[in-house]
Amino acid sequence: MSRYIPINAQDALDKLKAKKKQISIGLATIAALLILFFVFFTKSSEIPECQDCKSYGPLKPAYKGSLDLIFENKDYQLSVIEKLAGAIRIPTQIYDETPPPDLSIPLKDDPNYKNFSLLHTYLESTFPLVYSKFIVEKINGAGLLLTWHPKHIPKDSKPFLLMAHQDVVPFDPSTVSRWTYPPFSGHYDKKTDTLYGRGSTDTKKLLISHLEALELLIAANWEPSKRPILLSYGFDEERGGIDGASAIAKFILERYGPDSIYGLIDEGGETGYLGDNGFIGSPVTAEKGYLDAIITLNTKGGHSSIPPDHTSIGIISELNYLLEKNPYDPSIAVNNPALEAVQCRALYDKSFFGDVTKGFKSGRLGKLTNAVNNHLGYRYFFRTSQAIDIIKGGVKANALPEQVTVLVNNRININSSVNETLVHILDLVSEVADKYDLSIKLERSSNASELKSGKNGEFVVVVRGELEPAPISPTAGDEMWEIIAGTIVNTYSSSFFGNNTEVYVAPSLTTGNTDTKYFWDLTKRIYRFSGSLHVNGSNAHTVDEKTTGKSIISCLAFVYQIIGNIDKYT
Ligand SMILES: *[C@@H]1O[C@H](CO)[C@@H](O)[C@H](O)[C@H]1NC(C)=O
Ligand SMILES: *[C@@H]1O[C@H](CO)[C@@H](O)[C@H](O)[C@H]1NC(C)=O
Ligand SMILES: *[C@@H]1O[C@H](CO)[C@@H](O)[C@H](O)[C@H]1NC(C)=O
Ligand SMILES: *[C@@H]1O[C@H](CO)[C@@H](O)[C@H](O)[C@H]1NC(C)=O
Ligand SMILES: *[C@@H]1O[C@H](CO)[C@@H](O)[C@H](O)[C@H]1NC(C)=O
Ligand SMILES: *[C@@H]1O[C@H](CO)[C@@H](O)[C@H](O)[C@H]1NC(C)=O
Ligand SMILES: [Zn+2]
């Protein structure tokens, strides 16, 4: 595509460093022509061009060290797979109702967290060099914060932070027979290069890759030259990080202050395989917002032989019907990073949906909106979702239901807000309340207010877990972003991935949330990307969660390089 301006990441970094040098007249002229060209060709399109896709060359590793060992030595690779299998065999399940660790007793005696204590012991014995170099702090009982700050690095140097989580989604015992191997067996099938088990993909693969990369680096006497390295491992990401990452983030904020972290990388995006077309790495630079609306309707009870025309269940059904009849409008914000990810695929992945590709080619946002709306995999990148997930009401065949409750879960589009979402819900509640003369009470962070009063009963709308969409992390032109991009290209250009060396990079968005939501005050450079090769059917959160040796090694190779690159090139 002629409209793409390839940038070599190495050159780009050199340019960043050489900013103060005078730009020659020749270069300025070329730049001006390029800008004119760009403006001329894009003004007719409502859809911005990809900034990033195909823009980066491989970034030469600042420290190559053991990279060949990682990519080429089969015995070494098996030893890494075995280290991950060992971590999978320790079931660190976290349930929604698990209480926080009991800080009055040792972790190993806390029935809910005994296994986390076992995992800590396992990590310490498996990565002795990391545990000797880093200061290891337990935060809120089971959280781990590891710090490596060599003496020669100035106190005020901003640390680089790597994150993952120790907990896994519980497995449902009723599904045990559907697992090819038991969920915590950590079974590795050499023939298919598949490692089975809960946590294999979400996210012990990343946790073990961090520690293994650092173990290798320390063994070779590498040490950071400019920035301290922090590792943060929460213990309840899978129920929102309320006791784990939230406490670690608070601890870091108290120790270092606001905006004190250089940048962070947590779980999130991966690298997709486009068949003959190459690979696409998608670091996630934005996260949708969140809101649960728990809507209860209280009405008069009575004998069900003389019912009113509408019971509370009937009325709330009308609300459910209205909610689903009025979904949120799709709206493609031009700064939505998913636009880049989808556009990059539409251009370079030949198996991609034709109508989405046509939408991009048309340059018309309306046409593109219709096209992405028809694909479940992409629809919710560009609009607020709603799902009526829970309904409860009624107790007896001959008694009118006095109370019924529904829970509506919403993931908020990145150019929308908690307020806009709540207004949408309350508008529909009001419509029903007006029709049946019902009151509406809103409860938000323990504040209750009556929005409307009625005679026949009361809606109580409780707002839970409200979270605005995340700030969007910087991409093209940002030093850390360009290092990540160049590192992705270098990793996937390795012959380990075959001779297919086309590697694309595009930012993306997650429709879910990660532990990073507690770190907004610490840095604007928040990237959610494990570096690993995406595995088809890795089944995160469900039966037969699995990964491959290849995916583990790709994750390790990326992490190994990014540690050296961030230290050297920033
Ligand atoms: C802890 O591990 C044991 C097996 O080692 C397992 O039976 C138990 O369910 C685990 N506890 C939790 C909370 O995951
Ligand atoms: C994943 O599946 C798709 C189609 O279902 C296929 O085209 C692609 O090659 C697969 N990727 C890998 C890495 O096997
Ligand atoms: C979101 O973006 C779309 C397209 O750019 C725009 O039409 C809409 O007004 C935006 N919404 C908000 C709340 O900013
Ligand atoms: C939404 O924001 C507007 C304007 O700031 C405010 O008047 C309104 O009360 C808010 N609505 C809710 C439900 O918070
Ligand atoms: C009630 O809301 C106000 C602002 O709307 C807030 O400052 C206050 O903390 C809230 N009260 C409670 C108990 O959360
Ligand atoms: C890569 O190319 C070389 C020769 O150019 C060939 O020997 C080798 O088998 C190829 N590897 C893969 C994985 O296709
Ligand atoms: Zn996870």
Model pTM? 0.89
pLDDT band at 510 (very low <50, low <70, confident <90, very high): very high
Whether residue 3 is predicted with pLDDT greater than 50 in this model: the reply is no
More confident residue, 44 or 533: 533
- All CATH 3.30.70.360 domain ranges of the chain, comma separated, are 9-13+288-467
Q: Is 73 in the pocket of ligand 4 (CB under 6 A)?
A: no
Mean pLDDT of 173-187: 95
- All CATH 3.40.630.10 domain ranges of the chain, comma separated, are 67-268+512-569
Annotate 35-74 with DSSP letters as a single string.
HHHHHHHHTT-SSPPPSSTT-BPPPPPS--TTHHHHHH-H
Q: Specify the pLDDT at position 197.
A: 97
Q: Is 115 in the pocket of ligand 1 (CB under 6 A)?
A: yes
**What's the CA gap between 222 and 558, in Å, rounded?**
17
* CA nearest ligand 1 atom 3, residue: 91
266 is in an annotated binding site: yes
What is the DSSP pairing of strand 503-505 with strand 279-281? parallel
Instruction: Indicate which ligand has the atom closest to the C-alpha of 97.
Output: 1
pLDDT tens-digit readout, 299-347: 999 999 999 999 999 999 999 999 999 999 999 998 999 999 999 988 8
Q: Specify the pLDDT at position 27.
A: 61
Class level of CATH domain 67-268+512-569:
alpha beta
Q: What is the distance of C-alpha 266 from the center of its chain?
A: 7
What is the DSSP pairing of strand 403-412 with strand 289-299? antiparallel
Buried b (16+ CB within 10 A) or exposed e, 12-40: bbeeeeeeeeeeeeeeeeeeeeeeeeeee
CB atoms closer than 10 angstroms to residue 45 = 15
Closest CA to 349 of 360, 363, 365, 334: 360
Closest ligand 2 atom to 273 CA: 13
Residue 542 main-chain phi, psi, to 5 deg: -140, -170
Q: Is 537 in the pocket of ligand 2 (CB under 6 A)?
A: no
Q: Is 188 in the pocket of ligand 2 (CB under 6 A)?
A: no
Vertex 129, ends 123 and 131: CA angle to 5°?
50
Whether residue 246 is predicted with pLDDT greater than 60 in this model: the reply is yes
**What's the CA gap between 327 and 301, in Å, rounded?**
32
pLDDT band at 15 (very low <50, low <70, confident <90, very high): very low
Class level of CATH domain 9-13+288-467:
alpha beta
Cis before 203? omega within 30: yes
Instruction: Please tell me the chain's helix, strand, coil percentages from 3-state DSSP, rounded to the nearest 5.
Output: 40, 20, 40
Mean pLDDT of 460-468: 97
Q: How far is the CA of 498 from the centre of ligand 6 (A)?
A: 7
Q: How far is the CA of 464 from the centre of ligand 2 (A)?
A: 38
pLDDT band at 25 (very low <50, low <70, confident <90, very high): low
**What's the CA gap between 478 and 484, in Å, rounded?**
10
Mean pLDDT of 229-237: 98
Annotate 513-562 with DSSP letters as a single string.
--GGGG-TTT-S-EEEEEEEEP-TT--TTSTT-EEEHHHHHHHHHHHHHH
Q: Specify the pLDDT at position 23.
A: 43
193 is in an annotated binding site: no
Q: Which residues are the active-site residues?
A: 167, 237
**What's the CA gap between 70 and 265, in Å, rounded?**
21
Q: Whose structure tokens read 């979270």? A: 467
Structure tokens at 313: 């269940």
Residues in CB range of 512: below 8 A, 6 or more apart: 287, 288, 411
